[in-house]
Structure 1
Amino acid sequence: MLTMTDTAAEAVKTIVARVPQAADGGLRIRDAGAETGFELSVAPAPEPDDTVVVTEGARVFLDTAASLALNDRVLDAQLEQDGTVRFALAAQG
């Protein structure tokens, strides 16, 4: 199952907090296919078939295809001075 670093968890909580309608929601990752990659969005709740990953209160919702594709990955993030976030995936050690 996908895991998150502490930095990624903080980034997810920060992003979700910016969307008042999704205050108790999470970051949804959808596998949009080989040509497009993954789509990220803030969602107020998971879809019925989503896998929910929780780390330090941060919630990530994975659609079925993303859950399979990211099964052995770690989500990390880099927080920039201007408030932007860059997410990265690494293999689980």
Structure 2
Amino acid sequence: MLTLTENAQAAVAGLTTEANVPDTGGVRIALTEDQSQLEMSLVPEPQETDEVIDTDGAKVFVAAETAPVLADHTLDAQQTPEGIGFSLDKPGAPAEG
């Protein structure tokens, strides 16, 4: 199951609050239509088949077909010049570079 760092929790909670997303809503992660990339979006509620991750009020919904891809990953966030940036890390995976 996907886990969230404290930074990611704060970022998700902040984004949903700023966007006036209802309490039932959060950030949804899904594969794009061509299944080549991940996309994040603010949604008012999870879809029926989504995996729901609720960590201290930060809600992330992972599409059913995306959940296996993100198993054992950690979602992190940091402030960038362009705004909040999210990254996915898999603990124990070799560093890219």
TM over 0.5: yes
Distance in 2 (alpha carbons) for counterparts of 1:9 and 1:83: 19
TM-score, length-scaled by structure 2: 0.84
Secondary structure of the corresponding residue to residue 46 of structure 1: coil
1:57 match: 57
1:14 match: 14
Sequence identity (%)? 36
TM-score, length-scaled by structure 1: 0.87
The structure having more radius of gyration, on CA atoms, is: 2
1:16-60 C-alpha deviation (Å, 9 max, x unpaired): 11222x2311000111112xx111110111000000011121000
Say if 2:88 is the partner of 1:70.
Answer: no
**In proportion to residue count, which structure has more helix?**
1
CA RMSD of aligned residues (A): 1.5
Distance in 2 (alpha carbons) for counterparts of 1:74 and 1:84: 20
1:45 match: 45
Structure 1's consecutive aligned runs of 4 or more residues displaced over 3 angstroms after TM superposition are: none
Distance in 1 (alpha carbons) for counterparts of 2:39 and 2:88: 14
Q: How many corresponding residue pairs?
A: 89
